[in-house]
Amino acid sequence: MSRAETSRRGGRSSRAGIRDVAAAAGVSITTVSDALNGKGRLPDATRRHVREVADRLGYRPSAAARTLRTGKSGLIGLTVTTYGDEPFTFTEFAYFAEMARAATSAALARGYALVILPATSRHDVWSNVALDGTVVIDPSDQDPVVSELVRQGLPVVSDGRPAGSLPVTAWVDNDHEAAVLGILDHLADAGARRIGLLTGTTTDTYTHLSTTAYLRWCERVGQDPVYEAYPAHDPCAGAVAADRLLARPDRPDAVYGLFDPNGTDLLAAARRYGLRVPDDLLLVCCSESTVYANTEPPITTLSLKPRRIGTAVVQLLIDAIEGVDSEQPVEQVIPTELIVRTSSQRRPPRTTVSPPRSPENR
C-alpha cells in the first residue's frame, strides 16, 4: 500500500493507475477491476464507491496493458491495394471513401476502431500495431500480407472475392457478372445495337469478372466486342481511352464504363464528336458519385452499395473475432443498384424517372 504509493516516481506526472484508485478507495486492485468491468460479485455500494473514486481521479485504464493482458486490442486493420508510388489510392474513387466510412461506423458501433494500413508495407509497420483482425479491400492474387496474417491466426475478411486460393476467413462482394449482364440488357432494351465497354488493364477480380461477362454477353448475342482498356489508376488515361473508344470506325452507340470518372470523360468525348446523349449515344457508368444526377444530361450509374459492403465486411470480421460462429455463410453477396437516369433512355419519359430520393439511401 505505502509501497504502491511510493513506487510512483515521486512526481505527480504519471496518470492515475489502478493501484492509485484502489488505494484512494481503500479496496484492493481486484475490487477496482471487478467494479469497473462489472465482473465479480460485489455489493452495489462498493461498486458505486469505486466508480466514483475512479472518476474523481480521472482514471483511464491503460489500453496497452489491457491489450497485453486480454489479447484483444479493439483495433481492426483496413488495407487497400496500392498502385504505383503513392502508398495507396484510398479514395481515388468515391467507392473507397463510402466503404471506409461505413466500415468505420460499423466498427465503432461495436466498440472497435479502424487502422488504415497500406498493403505493401514493410513488416515493421504491421507488427507495430496489435490488430484483432483485418479488412482487405480487393486482395491481389497470392497476397503476401493476407497469408502472413492468416498464418498468425488473425481473421481476415476481404471486400471482393479473393482470387486464387487466398485463405480468407470470409468475403463480401457484389455479383459483378449479373450486374454487367443487367446493364447490357438494359442498354439493349433502350435500343442499343452495338455496346462498347471502357475497362481497365489491371488484373483485379472486379475488372476481370466484368470484362469476361461483357465478352460472354457479346458472344451470346452475336455482337463484336468493342472495348478500350486503360490503367484505371490514371485519370488522364481514362479521358484518352474514352476518346479513343468513340473515335473508332466501329463506334458503339452505347457505352458502359467500369470506373467512376468514365461518365464525365465519355460525356466530354461525346461532345467533342458532336454526339448527343442519349439520342446518339447511351451512357452508363459505375459510380457512387452524386454528380451524375446533375450532369447534362444526368447519367445512369451502377452503385455497388459500398455502404452495405463496408458494414457487412466489418460485421463478419467482428463476428469472427469474437467467436460468434455465425450460421451465415462466410460468403456474402450484396446486390447492386442501377440508378436509371436520362443518359440510358432513348425516349426519356416526361415523368420523373427516378423519384427524388433522399440523400440517405439505405
The interface with a second copy within residues 252-291 (CB under 8 A) comprises: 261, 264-265, 267-268, 271-274, 289-291
Instruction: Compute how many residues bind a second copy; rule: CB under 8 A.
Output: 78
- In the complex with DNA, which residue's Cβ is closer, 23 or 76? 23
- 32-61 residues near DNA, rule: CB under 7 A: 33-34, 36-37, 39-43, 46, 59-61
CA gap 297, 314 in Å, rounded? 37
Cβ burial 314-349 (10 Å sphere, 16+ → b, else e):
bbbbbbbbeeeeeeeeeebebebebbbbbbbbeeee
Our finding on whether 27 is near DNA (CB under 7 A) is: yes
> Could you tell me which stretch among 11-19, 82-90, 103-111, 340-348 binds DNA (CB under 7 A)?
11-19
Grid coordinates of 100: 471506409
**Residue (28 or 212) nearer to DNA, CB:** 28
Find the binding residues for a second copy in span 143-172 (CB under 8 A): 151-153
Output the smallest distance, CB 109 to a second copy, in A.
8
Residues 353, 199: Cα–Cα separation, whole Å? 28
C-alpha cell at 280: 446518339
The binder of a second copy chosen from 142, 203, 212, 294 (CB under 8 A):
294
One residue of 175, 177, 204, 234 binding a second copy per CB under 8 A: 234
Cis peptide before 297 (omega within 30 of 0): yes
Q: Which grid coordinates belong to 356?
A: 427524388
Residue 274 falls in which region: left (phi positive, over 0), alpha (psi -120 to 50) or beta: left
**Looking at beta carbons only, is 4 or 181 nearer to DNA?**
4
Helix, strand, coil percentages (3-state) for the chain, rounded to 5, are 40, 15, 40
Query: Which one among 70, 351, 352, 358 touches DNA, defined by CB under 7 A?
Result: 70
Our finding on whether 231 is near a second copy (CB under 8 A) is: no
**Is the Cβ of residue 67 or residue 201 nearer to a second copy in the bound state?**
67
Contact 320, 155 (CB under 8 A): yes
Binding mask 106-135 for a second copy (x = CB under 8 A): --xx-x-xxxxxx--x-xxx-xxxx-----
* Residue 258 binds: one of a second copy, DNA, none (C-beta under 5 to 8 A by kind): none
- Reduce the DSSP state of residue 5 to 3 states and report it: helix
User: How many Å apart are CA 136 and CA 242, to the nearest integer?
Assistant: 30
Quote the least distance from Cβ 36 to DNA, whole Å: 6
Structural element, H or E, at residue 284: strand 282-286
CA distances from 24 to 41, 56, 162 (A): 21, 10, 54
Q: Which residues bind DNA (CB under 7 A)?
A: 7, 9, 14-15, 17-19, 22, 26-31, 33-34, 36-37, 39-43, 46, 59-62, 65-66, 68-70
